[in-house]
Amino acid sequence: MSDSRINAGVIYKAVLLAFGLVIAAMIFRALISLVLGLLVVVIIATPLSAFADFLQRWRCPRPIGATLGLLLGLAAIGGLVALIVPVFTREVNDFAHSLPAIGDALSRRLGRLTGSSPAHITAQVQHFVTSYTHNPSRLFGPVAQIGASVAAGLAAIVVVLLTSLYTAIHPEPLVRGLIRLFPIPRRPHVHHILMRLRTAYLAWLRGLLVGMVVLGGLTYLGLMLVGLKFAAFFAVFTAVAMIVPYFGALVSSIPPILYALTISPQKAILVAIIYILAHQLESNVIQPLVVARTVKLHPAMVAIGVVAVDQLFGFIGLLIAVPIIATASILVDELWVKPLERGDGLAPTEQIQRSTAEGLTFRVRR
């Protein structure tokens, strides 16, 4: 009888533990999504607030300045899309029409390299495609999920943009409320940390925009120089993939190299050289000049951080992987490394005074 009581108690505790773990996992996922959303809002609101601050020097009200900054940003994106889409659409259509011939040529080339017969490779590809064409119901689920995801994404974008706009118009209550969560002796240090984060976000956005333009332009010119078709398509894909550091560059180089391989191995080698040179020039020359030392992260830290961000935040997190890694790096530096080096947990008065003198602290308007 005692054994049954013990077993029942163990089972009861195990059920409670499992239930608690499930609830904790759900709360953790909700918190991760909340943190990601807040970070996206802050990243967008930071340049809008800086633009509003700039216009406010010319006696332009902050609501007008922040709204004008958002409209200019959307107009710049829309103008870039309108400029690229016609050429991009034409090349995408040509690329889609050429896919059967490209697939045949690639299968023959891979057959020679791997020793497999082209017919065997083609049969495997056709079997994969036929499994979907003969069972179209297998596509309905993914298509419905994609449609729902697109609708939810558009709604989220609208909410994020509006929240970012309101944050940029009235940042003082939010900043003041955040600072008041800390003890009075710590508040100057909190000012310093917030300013470091603000500078890092602005530098990342500036470097990202310049880097995308430079990398896309260099890739386009290089592919046109070697006479590779669909240069605009590959260049735009490369520029967009740059958002994900390191891994985006690797992924963006695979399609043009494979396409060039269908023409000749020499063409594929030339395309690979173009991508290596373009990425080296952008990462070692352009980025240091634009970003300077504000978001200086070790490549190994970024590579490991991207994997960690993907596991925690998913694909959306990869789009802002560098700000997330920079945030973690700055917080660890300010809250852990520097106190250890000083031997205490307080920010030195000299550092705060120097930061204030250099204008590196937030100025909360009252």
Query: Cα(first)–Cα(last) distance of the chain, in Å?
Result: 71
Domain ranges of the chain: 1-120+147-181
Q: What is the pLDDT at residue 279? A: 82
pLDDT at 100: 66
pTM above 0.75, yes or no: no
Q: What stretches of 115-186 show up as alpha helix (H) in DSSP?
A: 118-133, 137-169, 172-179
What would the 3-class secondary structure string for 247-283 be? HHHHHHHHHHHHHHHCCCHHHHHHHHHHHHHHHHHHH
What pLDDT is recorded for position 308?
84
CA dihedral defined by 16, 19, 20, 25, rounded to 10 degrees?
Answer: 160
pLDDT at 360: 41
| Side-chain-facing half-sphere of 131: CA atoms under 13 Å | 5
Largest distance between two CA atoms of the chain: 86
Mean pLDDT by 10 residues, the chain (366 residues): 53 71 72 84 92 91 92 85 69 66 64 57 56 52 56 80 92 90 92 91 86 88 89 86 80 88 87 89 69 64 81 81 88 88 58 46 42
> What's the confidence (pLDDT) of residue 365?
43
Q: What pLDDT does residue 189 have?
A: 92
pLDDT at site 8? 64
Q: Return the pLDDT at 286.
A: 67
CA-derived radius of gyration, the chain: 26
**Sign (positive/negative) of CA torsion 36, 186, 294, 59?**
positive
